[in-house]
Amino acid sequence: MDISTQDAPVPPPAPAPSLEQKRASRGATRPGDRVFLGLSRGSGILLLVIMAAIAGFLTYRAALAISEDEANFLTSFEWDANGTPPKFGIAVLAYGTVISSVIAMVIAVPISVGIALFITHYAPRRLGGVISYVIDLLAAVPSIVYGLWGALVLVPHLNGLYGWLDDYLGWTGVFEWQGGAARSLFTVGILLAIMILPIVTNVSREVFRQSPQMIEEAALALGATRWEVIRMSVLPFGRSGVISASMLGLGRALGETMAVATVLSPSFLINASLLDPGGGTFAQNIASKFGEATPVGRDALIASGLVLFVITLLVNGAARAIIARRKEYSGANA
Amino acid sequence: MAKRIDVSGLTAYYGSHKAIDDISMTVEPRSVTAFIGPSGCGKSTFLRTLNRMHEVTTGGRVEGKVLLDDEDLYGQGVDPVAVRRTIGMVFQRPNPFPTMSIFDNVAAGLKLNGSYKKSELGDVVEKSLKGANLWNEVKDRLNKPGSGLSGGQQQRLCIARAIAVEPQVLLMDEPCSALDPISTLAIEDLIGELKERFTIVIVTHNMQQAARVSDRTAFFNLSAVGQPGRLIEIDDTERIFSNPSVQATEDYISGRFG
């Protein structure tokens, strides 16, 4: 930098900018700016093109498969996509995917919120840091490792819990247990819960940490206990953040492949009981069937992938709607 | 309702840093006492020791006695939560609960106490909002969020929230410093009305405000940055602003501080 320019006299006020100068001020004429503009615009366009290409390809192949399908694609319980004529439906997969993810959410979200609150509002700073670090480690474990741990350690150790559930809740039918290996959608749900715990906890923790001090003090000064402070100011402030965190977790749970494929003993059946082995999820089914699929079979798997994609979109849309509905009362303008 | 505050030998710390040193004073019931002094002299810290809010900051601790009539707020077995329920507080920046409606904001303290009848809740909210001179402005939108009000209205909402639980004492920490002159005037008028029912302690940087609203004024100062704040003197407001007994007070109120 030339230091002498600091002493340069102030230039007279510039006349109204010409068209040429306006273009210059938008940064499109200097070579560096032009290159950067081209790169960033190009990346943006490339992203859209890739998305469109994937969506187009998936829809095209899915349409091919569904047009050959001899069974009802949405309601059939069969998966014989390699046969002639091919017969397949996604009912079992949709059920298994949604149920296992719902179980995971029911278990993981309350625990995650609890851990996040403990780290931000109860634990001494140092202990909170240690817990955060351990949770970050948990997020770094590859999913296949979770799958192996699930199949070799979790499954054999769940017999006690399954027996207890059968004893006390077996009468509902939902928790009836025949006594087989615990390779059921319920176990998958537990494993998925452990897997999504770190992301839900981390995002919730960041949201709670930003909870405004002055609102917490307002509650304290009214004579609120620590839990009442959390209930009156921290949780309402963090509500939309926790919903976002849960959706991130749900996205992972819906699409999880290897861990589910390792633990579940799949079948094309919907059991009344969550504890009986069987069922399947979209991602697990694609992973285990793709290798030996015929061309039509592959298209059928692609079609099931499209359905998973649509489910994820719907879930995200619902979450956004929930957040938007409460916007007026959000802590954003605190 | 209104009670006397008797402070003796009060010292407060942030960790190892001594923020205020050996303060003693008496605050009479049904009067307004103003705390003035330069920034960092510990007047806000002292205010926060009066309802045990000081100790919620990391490292905050207190030595000495604060008697509310005859009960020591720092005595053994005294629950700080119970103390804060009897001593209300209004903060520098208006802080209504953003997720609650105007009605729920005022009712928040009652719901914490748990001892209210549903039918009475509406009456108490109306009475408190009237007491805070806010009722006419919000009576048609009690179910709207409190954060939609103007700054001055939000501060009066916070006052309504504080008086809804009928505290013995009302502490105000620079309640007008974030407000425009008209809203400030509204709050000052309100303070004049509230002192009929409550013991009021107000921290302010505005000496005219102290002169206008208070009966007694306490001047705080610190000898140097990093040194603890001390109470220089407390006297009738009129005397402090006309003929203070300590030279430092005279210097400060006439603008020759340092």
Residue of chain A with shortest Cα separation from B107: A222
The rounded percent of chain A whose pLDDT value lies above 90 is: 57
Question: Looking at residue A184, what is its pLDDT?
Answer: 92
Q: Give mean pLDDT, residues A228-243.
A: 91
Question: Which residues of B are less than 8 Å from A240 in CB distance?
Answer: none
Distance CA A28, CA B164 (A): 61
Question: Residue for token digits 């509902």?
Answer: A172
Tell me: pLDDT of A272 over 90: no
Question: Residue for token digits 């609960």?
Answer: B97
pLDDT band at A63 (very low <50, low <70, confident <90, very high): very high
Please say whether the beta carbons of A312 and A254 come within 8 A.
Answer: yes
Q: Is B56 on the interface with A (CB under 8 A)?
A: yes
Question: Looking at residue A8, what is its pLDDT?
Answer: 47
Q: Classify the complex by whether its ipTM is higher than 0.95, answering yes or no.
A: no
Q: Is B84 on the interface with A (CB under 8 A)?
A: yes
Best interface-test mutation with B: which of A120, A211, A222 has the largest number of B CBs within 10 A? A222
Residue of chain B with shortest Cα separation from A328: B145
pLDDT digits (tens, 9 = 90+) for A246-268: 998 998 999 999 999 999 988 88
DSSP character string of B169-218: EEEEESTTTTS-HHHHHHHHHHHHHHTTTSEEEEE-S-HHHHHHH-SEEE
Strand pairing partners for B60?
B14
Question: Looking at residue B1, what is its pLDDT?
Answer: 58
Maximum mean pLDDT: which of A9-18, A96-105, B112-121: A96-105
pLDDT band at A155 (very low <50, low <70, confident <90, very high): very high
How is residue B235 written in tokens?
């006297």
DSSP code for B148: G
> Mean pLDDT, chain A, as a whole number?
87
Question: Which residues of B are less than 8 Å from A233 in CB distance?
Answer: 97, 99
> Mean pLDDT, chain B, as a whole number?
90
Q: Which of A109-123, B100-114, B148-162 has the lowest mean pLDDT?
A: B100-114
Q: Minimal CA–CA distance to B12: which of B69, B75, B68, B74?
A: B74
How is residue A246 written in tokens?
């849960």
Q: Give mean pLDDT, residues B185-212.
A: 92
Distance CA B94, CA B153 (A): 9
How far A328 CA lies from chain B's nearest CA (Å)? 7
Question: Looking at residue A1, what is its pLDDT?
Answer: 39
**Can you give the three-state secondary structure of B205-257, one letter per residue?**
CCHHHHHHHCCEEEEEEECCCCCCEEEEEEEEHHHHHHCCCCHHHHHHHCCCC
Domain boundaries, given as residue ranges, for chain A = 20-68, 90-333
Strand pairing partners for A173?
none
CATH superfamily membership of A90-333: MetI-like (1.10.3720.10)
pLDDT digits (tens, 9 = 90+) for A34-53: 999 999 999 999 999 998 99
pLDDT digits (tens, 9 = 90+) for A164-195: 999 999 888 889 888 888 899 999 999 999 99
pLDDT band at A7 (very low <50, low <70, confident <90, very high): very low
Best interface-test mutation with A: which of B95, B111, B161, B174 has the largest number of A CBs within 10 A? B95
Domain boundaries, given as residue ranges, for chain B = 5-98+171-253
Please say whether the beta carbons of B78 and A191 come within 8 A.
Answer: no
Distance CA A207, CA A237 (A): 8
Question: Looking at residue A19, what is its pLDDT?
Answer: 60
Q: Is B167 on the interface with A (CB under 8 A)?
A: no
Q: What is the CA radius of gyration of chain B?
A: 18
Q: What are phi and psi of A177, to 5 degrees?
A: -125, 130
Question: Looking at residue B143, what is its pLDDT?
Answer: 92
Question: Looking at residue A54, what is its pLDDT?
Answer: 87
Tell me: pLDDT of A329 over 70: no
Strand pairing partners for B8?
B65
Question: Looking at residue A24, what is its pLDDT?
Answer: 52
CATH superfamily membership of B5-98+171-253: P-loop containing nucleotide triphosphate hydrolases (3.40.50.300)
pLDDT band at B54 (very low <50, low <70, confident <90, very high): very high
DSSP alpha helix (H) spans, A86-153: 91-117, 125-140, 143-149
Q: Give mean pLDDT, residues A83-93.
A: 89
Question: Which residues of A are less than 8 Å from B105 in CB distance?
Answer: none
Q: Which of A160-169, B99-108, B221-230 has the lowest mean pLDDT?
A: B221-230
Distance CA B126, CA B94 (A): 20
Q: Give mean pLDDT, residues A112-124.
A: 94
Torsion from C-alpha of A120, A124, A129, A134, nearest 10 degrees: -90
Q: How far is CA B130 from the centre of its chain?
A: 20
Please say whether the beta carbons of B210 and B2 come within 8 A.
Answer: no
pLDDT band at B83 (very low <50, low <70, confident <90, very high): very high
Distance CA A262, CA A287 (A): 11
CB atoms within 10 A of CB A265: 17
Tell me: pLDDT of A29 over 90: no
